[in-house]
Structure formats: structure tokens, C-alpha cells
A and B are shown apart, each in its own frame.
Chain A
Amino acid sequence: MLTSQIKSNEIVFGSSNKDLLEEIIFYGIGLGADFVEIFIENTDNSSVLAEEDFITSVSPSFGRGAGIRIFKGKKDGFVSTNDLTKHGLMRSVSQAIEMLDITDNKRGVFNGLNKHRNYSLSKKKWINEVPSINEISEKLLVSTKSLKKNNKIITRKGSYSRNLQEVIIASSDGTYVSDIRLHQTVGLNVIASDAQYRSSGSRRFGSSGVPNEFRLWDHEKAANDVFESSMNMLYADYVDAGQMPVVLANKFGGVIFHEACGHLLETTQIERGTTPFENKLNEKIAHESVTAIDEGISEGSFGSLSVDDEGMEPEKSVLIKDGILKKFLSDRAGELRTGHKRTGSGRRQNYSFAAASRMRNTYIAKGEHSKEDLINSISEGLYCKSMGGGSVGATGQFNFAVEEGYLIKNGKLTSPVKGATLIGEAKEVMPKISMCGNDLELAPGFCGSISGSVNVTVGQPHIKVDSITVGGR
């Protein structure tokens, strides 16, 4: 994979495309564009699903396409196409120019592409190092067999997916970059049932740029974890609704910060006027115990990148330091429209989306407390061991499902409870995060937003929120 037959006047992966890319960019600038960006990708993906003791689905896919973005002033036109010929790419440039209705004679500047930054050199071997479908199938079946621990487990599933994406990024500021990205995820799900009682459990693991990761995955530990979670919740009562202190577990507990606060720190939200933090730079927006970071550089983490989708190397962005807002995540359009410097956060699902400011590996930094310190400090509250998904409304209210929860009474964990949701608003909840544990861990996830679904990690240590609305029955 990742090689194509050489044809004239067509993008060829694995070869220099400099002359062709320069010709296309010159063409756009000549038609009056301020800025021209070309994003080209070639993908090779596969997924495998095991249900009970059988492989029920193997789905390979491959594709190629280009996204052309033209800026004129603060406006931009974006055209995507599967046609990677010179003719097809020039037609896309013309279409984008036409959409922008450019009438003036001012043109941007293009002095040719810079030296090729090729991040893919050491990654071309990855395709031969990732596990074969046979190997994946065998391990998934062992995993689903491990979930068969008693007759209350009525559904067992294991799934794997691998996405290999080769990209070429070129733009009129001279950027000329190639990269190969590899993302692998594996997940386990169960449904348990006994008479009228039902519960479910799931866990997902993921990595970027580690071909061997699936082989190293401890499926037995994962199966035990999922099984235990579903059994704990099988006979759980519904939680009573109310305002109460909660302790959120580490790893995927960080999804709340990601959704409720992280998105509000993307410049796309400033552009829309939908973040309450727009004018709060260097002001206190969270409890002083909170330091929050977004970065794309942790080796192997699901949200890590060698280079973002606009050709910039990702930085480590300290968003909040000791409760003070320090930075927004910005992409090219964000810098142009809001003035916040780019942070290497320009990301997109694929060629059919224009890049936007998006999170990468986002987490609350570790504090000094143990998990027990946090729980012991609560007389009546809720421990959210495992979080489900959630959403944030247009005005900032968030809502998250608690997949596995336990009541806290007199500083101790007691009975499991189901049906809990956490409801609030970031600017009200952030000052109430009063204690951070010392056990920071990350968890992979997929984040859907303006530029499609991208791989991210969320994370945090155990944290205590002094008071939050818990939805129940």
C-alpha cells in the first residue's frame, strides 16, 4: 500500500510532487487568492469484529482525495475531490476561487515550496509491522472467550480497527510536508442479564504510531475489567437526583474537561462567539488546583501527531495554569480571525474537511492527593468510576452519563448506582474542582466536531468536584 503507479500530471505518493504542487499553488495565487493550501491523503484501513466466539466482520477500505483551501481576507473556500490529477486539482482551485467571488487584483505571495519536511521516512515500514488479519482475529477471539466468565454474560464483542493515513500538505507560505499516521484501537463490550436486570460494560484502548501495540495489549486484564464492571452494575439501583459532591475517576473521567471546557478553548468557539472564556485570558477561570494541558507530543498517545494537518509541528499548550486561563488552541483560520497564534492544532478527519482548531491529548495535570483522600473528604456523594459519553449545548451546558457509579457515604464507597448523569456548565464547575489526585492517566477517544471525527486522548487524575447536579430518577 501507499504506493501508486506513476502517471504524468498526477499526485504520486512516495515521489516528489513539488513541481506539480507549486504549479497548482501558483495557479491559485494567480487567480487572486491570498493563500492556497493543498491537503492530499491516501488511506488504508481495516477493521475486524468478533462476536461471541466467531469473527463476524472483516472490513478493509482504501481511498484517496484532496482538500483545497483558498483564503481571501478572512473568508475561505474549501473544495474536496477524489480526482488527484493536475486537471482535477486545478479545477478544484478554480471552483474555490469562483466561490469566493474574487474581484480585486491583489494577490498573495508565493515564493515556491520550502525544503520538503518528510516525517514519513521511518514510518514506511509500519504497514509491514502491524498485525495481520489472522493475528488480529486470533487475539480478538481469545479476548471474547475471556469475557465468558458466567452465564449472566449474554453478549460478548471485541473489535479492532487500524487506520493508516499518508498525507502531503503544501501551501503558499512554503509549507511542504509529508507524513504517515497509524492509529489502532481495540475494544471489548459485554451485556449482562439476569431476569429483569441488565447492565453493560465496555472499554476501548488505542495508540498512534506504535505498530506493535495490539500485540502488547493485555486482553486478559481488559476482559476482567469489563466483566467486573458489568457485574457490579447488574443489580444496581437508580441513583437519586440531586446536588452533591462527586469524585471523577482518572483516565476517561477527563472526558468532562474535554467536552465541557476544552472545546470552549478552541478558537473556532471564539469565531462563533460561543465561549464564555473569550475575554478571560490571564484571568482565573478555575480553582487554583487546576492546571490543564493540551499537547500532541506524548509518544504513542492516541492524539499525538508529528505534524498537524496544516503542516505545523504540535506544541505543548498549557491552557490553564493554577486556575488562570493561559492559552487557546488555534489553527490557521483561528489565527487569522482571532489573532491567537497557531498551536499545531489544525486537524481534520480526512481530505473532505477543512482543518479546524481541535484538541489532541488533553488532560488535567496531577495534584498531590491520593484517590482515598478525595473520597474520604466526602460524607455523601457519588464516585464516578467510569464515564460514558456526553455533550455540550450551544450555550455551554454539559451533560454526561455515568457508566459505573458508586455512592459515597461517610468517606467510603458503598453501593453501585446506575442512571446517573452529571449536568452543569464549565464556567460554574471549573472553580469547584477543589482536589486533584496524583494518579494522572490518559484514555483514547474519538472527538466529533466541525472538522469531523479525530483521534484524541482525554485524561486526568482522580478529581473532586465540590458540588454538581446529578441527574437520576
Chain B
Amino acid sequence: MNSREIKTQISKAADLLNLKKWDYGASFSNDYSVQVDKGEAKQLKASQKQILTIRVWNQSNLVGITTTSDISESGIKKALKQANIASDFGNKNETTEFSPLAKDPIKVKEIKKRNPVGIKKLLTLLRGAELKLIESHESIKSVPYNGLSESFFERVYANSEGAFRSYSKSQAALYLYARAEEKNKKPRSSGSVKLGYGAGDIDIESCIKEASNKTISHLNYSSIKTDKYLICFSPESFLTIINAFSSMFNARSIIDGVSLSNKNSIGEKISTEALNIYDDSLHEKNISSTPFDGEGTPTKRLCLINRGRIENFIHSESTARIFKTTPTGHAGLGSKVSVSPDWIVVEKSEENIDLKTSLDHSTYEGEFVYIEELNAIHAGVRASQGSFSLPFDGWLYKNGKKISIESATVAGDIKYLLKNIVNIESSQEVTTSGISPHIWVNELSITGDA
């Protein structure tokens, strides 16, 4: 059944059940992936997947929902029936409606859809990448975590008032995590991830080089003294922090009482005036961009922090109605509609006169800790309390030398961190979760050796 046929089928089945108001989101995907182990194919995977989520409104205008992978005629009927039963338990205190923007035009990036290169080609590419990475340095003994995948999918949103939108795209991903070992030293590991619209678009050479350089750079390591340090966050690690605390900008989290912000926080100064943050699913560098959200609302560039002050929250249909504004294209279809950011863009604002521009990660000769990558986000972030304590990979720069930090955590408070940004470098770097320059923060606690 194709996406148009599903709509017809749902419409027919809804009529039989006397359901006048409904919407649905569906996705169809074909995925292919390979993993290798020292030149040998390890696991080769393919999947055909389909998921349908249907919402129905009963006569009391309460919403019920069901999700299924059975997109057959009988599956659709069953899903509608279950959703109808679930609507008896719909939330009476916060009603849900169709997005008022579900029929607005969407901006679809003009990207030529790639064709599958096939498992054999993926395998050849990954074997070559693994070999090159192992040969790049004598200490690199293996690439225990590796994979090359390509996905082709279509997403659809439609509702009983005539909205229908779909888009299809392709995406490929390569990850290489090498393990280096030297005598009488602990094994060290690091890696790189690259995305592309197709396997042929992925910059494999730079992935190999990055994985190799990072891994080798951690070979000479030392413990770090527990203390407070000047910190330079890599673009990737700063975006990790911002995403971890994105409940600050999330209207759903505010309503649920799990955000550090409240309804009146728009305009509140939360960071140095030199900081601007946007959410921009449609950014030209975002390979994972989506033109509409789970409720069919078009996505767009939205300013979250403007010159250090909260400018906007991200919304679904219902949160926007509660906040008396319009949906922003950040909804995920569910019984309780979720809200989440897409792709974060961090920039230096024009109010940057107070920044210490001498702090540049490639030239600064004073002592600082460079945080390359933050780990264990799910465990170490208390978003509702604003605190974090996270293990990281990085280096201590001291006396003009750089040494990998053996094992350490960085701890602090997001509000403190944002207010103590002392420099935002000029050059932005693209990562898988957004785009950001290097960010310098004064005095965060690092736990290493006692």
C-alpha cells in the first residue's frame, strides 16, 4: 500500500466507524548496513520497515492514538478501533487539534535523491576504510566499532481536513571507532562519524583521518588533578550540552514543570550577550533535515537565544495554543505530543565586545582543558535541576603542550556555564547535531585524580 492508498483506506475505515476527525503519520524505510572485522564481513543487515500512527477524535473531541507496523487493510481497521477505544481516556485538560499550519506550504530542500549502492559496495568501502585506518598508525590494532549504512525513506502526514504532505529522502552514515594499544599503557579509543545523502557522498578519507588523528592523540595520556579549569568546548561537545538542556526552550517541558524556564522567561537574560542560538532544521548543512514535523507543521529557522536572552520557545500545536502563539514545527506525533529541537545553530552575536578573543584553541598558550566529546549524557545530566556531571574525552593544554586526559568528569550548572562564556570563536564547525564554533567557559570543575 502506498502513502495515498493508506489515506484512502483510513478514510474508508474511519467512515465505517463513524470517526469524523483523524490524522496520521506514516514512515516507510529501506535500510542497509554493514560491519566488518579485520577485513571480514561481520554482520550485513537489511530491513524493510513501515510504521503508522493514527489519531482519532471522538464525539467529545478527546484524542486516542495507536501505532502499528501492520499496514494492511485489517491492520488499519484494528488501529482505528484501538485508537477510538483509547480516546475514551483522552486528556480532558489539554485538548489537541490539527496544526493550523498543516496545509501551509513546506520548503523541501532540493537534494537529488540517491540510489542504493548496495551491500557489496558498502562492504567494499568499509573494508577499505577499516584497512586504511589500521594502517594509519602502528598502535591502531583494530576498529572494533564500525559501520556503513544507507537509508531510503518516505514520511507522510495527512488529516481528515484534507492536509496531505510527504517527502522522501536518502541518507548514509559512516562511523569508525579505532582502538589503539601500546605496551604498558591502557588501550585508547576514539573515532569519527560522517553523514551524507548517499554512501557516495560521504567523505570517507576525512572520517579515516579524523578517527586516526583523534585516537593517536590520546596515546600519550595522563591523569588530571581535580580542580577548576578554564574550558574550551569543541563544537560537538557544546552542542551536546545545549541539546541536553534544550528543555530550557521547550514549551512542553515548561508546562510539565521539568524545565528551568517558565512561561515568563521570554526576554530573560541567561547567557553572555555574545551568544545567539537558533534551531534550524532546514539549514543547508543539515543532512537530516525534515520539512514538516509530526503534526504536519512546516519546520523553519527559529531564534532561541538572541544576544543572551531567550527569544522563543519551541512548540507543538497544543503548547502553542496555551502560550497564545503559533506552532514552530517541533512536534512528535504521540498520545501526548512531544516537542524537541531539530538542529542547533550556535553563533557569535554582534554584542561581542567583551569576549576574550585571545582565547583561540589553536593558538592560546595558557593552561586550559579542551573537551572534545562528552559521554553518558543520559546518566550525567539533571535537566530539570540544571546540573551536569559528565565524563569526557579531551586534553589538558599546559606550557604549550597537549596531553590526553586519562579519565575525568566535568561538572557544573548550565546557567553558570552560559553566563561564564568568555569567548565564542569565529569559525563554526558542522557536526551531526548542529553547527557551532568553539566555546570557552571560565572555571568548571574537573574531577580526575584526587
Q: Identify the A interface with B (CB < 8 A).
A: 5, 48-49, 51, 54-65, 74-83, 95-96, 98-101, 133, 137, 154-155, 191, 198-200, 238, 241-243, 271-274, 352, 354, 388-391, 393-397, 399-401, 418-421, 423, 425, 469-473
Bound state CA distance, A394 and B93, in angstroms?
Answer: 46
24 contacts between A and B (CB under 8 A): A5-B74, A54-B91, A60-B67, A60-B86, A61-B66, A61-B67, A62-B70, A65-B69, A74-B40, A75-B43, A133-B85, A133-B89, A241-B450, A273-B144, A390-B379, A391-B379, A393-B189, A399-B391, A400-B379, A419-B411, A421-B380, A421-B409, A469-B449, A471-B389
Expressed in whole angstroms, the minimum distance between the Cβ of B121 and any Cβ of chain A is 11
Take A56-B91, A79-B45, A99-B46 as given contacts and tell me if A395 and B67 are in contact as well, using a CB distance cutoff of 8 Å: no
Expressed in whole angstroms, the minimum distance between the Cβ of A147 and any Cβ of chain B is 13
Give A80's nearest chain B residue, CB to CB: B47
Bound state CA distance, A241 and B378, in angstroms?
Answer: 21
Take A58-B64, A241-B226 as given contacts and tell me if A80 and B48 are in contact as well, using a CB distance cutoff of 8 Å: yes
Interface pair B257/A390, CB less than 8 Å apart: no
* Chain B residues whose C-beta falls within 8 Å of the C-beta of A56 in the assembled complex: 91, 93-94, 336
Beta-carbon contacts under 8 Å, B45-89 to A: 45-50, 64-71, 74, 78-79, 82-83, 85-86, 89
A-B pairs, 5 with minimum CB distance: A63-B69, A389-B379, A391-B376, A471-B447, A272-B144
- B350 close to A (CB within 8 Å): no
Expressed in whole angstroms, the minimum distance between the Cβ of B89 and any Cβ of chain A is 4
Interface pair B179/A395, CB less than 8 Å apart: yes
Bound state CA distance, A81 and B257, in angstroms?
Answer: 40
- B37 close to A (CB within 8 Å): yes
Interface pair A59/B74, CB less than 8 Å apart: no
Interface pair B335/A57, CB less than 8 Å apart: yes
* Chain A residues whose C-beta falls within 8 Å of the C-beta of B448 in the assembled complex: 469
Interface pair B409/A59, CB less than 8 Å apart: no
Bound state CA distance, A423 and B93, in angstroms?
Answer: 44
Residue from the set B49, B79, B186, B411 with the largest chain A CB neighbour count within 10 Å: B411
Give B141's nearest chain A residue, CB to CB: A273
* Chain A residues whose C-beta falls within 8 Å of the C-beta of B407 in the assembled complex: 397, 423, 425, 469
* Chain A residues whose C-beta falls within 8 Å of the C-beta of B389 in the assembled complex: 401, 419-421, 471-472
Expressed in whole angstroms, the minimum distance between the Cβ of A357 and any Cβ of chain B is 14
* Chain A residues whose C-beta falls within 8 Å of the C-beta of B92 in the assembled complex: 54
Bound state CA distance, A121 and B377, in angstroms?
Answer: 43
Across the interface, A63 reaches (CB within 8 A) one of B68, B90, B257, B336, namely B68
Interface pair A198/B336, CB less than 8 Å apart: no
Expressed in whole angstroms, the minimum distance between the Cβ of B143 and any Cβ of chain A is 10
Interface pair A419/B387, CB less than 8 Å apart: yes
Bound state CA distance, A470 and B450, in angstroms?
Answer: 9
Beta-carbon contacts under 8 Å, B225-267 to A: 226, 256-258
Interface pair A59/B43, CB less than 8 Å apart: no
Interface pair B380/A401, CB less than 8 Å apart: yes
* Chain B residues whose C-beta falls within 8 Å of the C-beta of A101 in the assembled complex: 120
Please encode chain B, from 397 to 414, with 1 for each CB lying within 8 Å of some chain A CB and 0 for all others.
000000000011101100
Main secondary structure of the interface of A (DSSP, over half): strand
Q: Identify the B interface with A (CB < 8 A).
A: 37, 40-50, 64-71, 74, 78-79, 82-83, 85-86, 89-94, 119-120, 141-142, 144-145, 177, 179, 186-189, 226, 256-258, 334-336, 375-376, 378-380, 382, 384-387, 389-391, 407-409, 411-412, 445, 447-450
* Chain B residues whose C-beta falls within 8 Å of the C-beta of A82 in the assembled complex: 48-50, 69-71
* Chain A residues whose C-beta falls within 8 Å of the C-beta of B188 in the assembled complex: 395
Residue from the set B145, B257, B390 with the largest chain A CB neighbour count within 10 Å: B257
* Chain B residues whose C-beta falls within 8 Å of the C-beta of A61 in the assembled complex: 66-68
Across the interface, B384 reaches (CB within 8 A) one of A76, A200, A272, A397, namely A200
Bound state CA distance, A354 and B35, in angstroms?
Answer: 13
Interface pair A354/B43, CB less than 8 Å apart: yes
Across the interface, B447 reaches (CB within 8 A) one of A75, A200, A241, A388, namely A241
Bound state CA distance, A306 and B384, in angstroms?
Answer: 40
Expressed in whole angstroms, the minimum distance between the Cβ of B449 and any Cβ of chain A is 8
* Chain B residues whose C-beta falls within 8 Å of the C-beta of A242 in the assembled complex: 226, 450
* Chain B residues whose C-beta falls within 8 Å of the C-beta of A420 in the assembled complex: 389
Across the interface, B445 reaches (CB within 8 A) one of A51, A271, A472, namely A472
Bound state CA distance, A30 and B64, in angstroms?
Answer: 48
Bound state CA distance, A307 and B186, in angstroms?
Answer: 39
* Chain B residues whose C-beta falls within 8 Å of the C-beta of A75 in the assembled complex: 40-44
Interface pair A55/B69, CB less than 8 Å apart: no
Give B47's nearest chain A residue, CB to CB: A80
Across the interface, B78 reaches (CB within 8 A) one of A62, A241, A391, A470, namely A62
Give B51's nearest chain A residue, CB to CB: A63
Bound state CA distance, A74 and B67, in angstroms?
Answer: 37
Interface pair B44/A393, CB less than 8 Å apart: no
Expressed in whole angstroms, the minimum distance between the Cβ of B417 and any Cβ of chain A is 13
Across the interface, B49 reaches (CB within 8 A) one of A352, A389, A473, namely A352
Expressed in whole angstroms, the minimum distance between the Cβ of B126 and any Cβ of chain A is 13
Interface pair A399/B179, CB less than 8 Å apart: no
* Chain A residues whose C-beta falls within 8 Å of the C-beta of B375 in the assembled complex: 391, 393, 399
Expressed in whole angstroms, the minimum distance between the Cβ of A390 and any Cβ of chain B is 5
Expressed in whole angstroms, the minimum distance between the Cβ of A73 and any Cβ of chain B is 9
Known A155-B256, A393-B375, A401-B380; further 15 A-B contacts with Cβ < 8 A? A56-B336, A58-B86, A59-B334, A64-B70, A78-B46, A191-B258, A394-B177, A395-B187, A399-B375, A399-B380, A399-B390, A421-B447, A425-B407, A469-B449, A473-B411
* Chain A residues whose C-beta falls within 8 Å of the C-beta of B85 in the assembled complex: 60, 133
Take A49-B336, A78-B44, A78-B45 as given contacts and tell me if A472 and B144 are in contact as well, using a CB distance cutoff of 8 Å: no
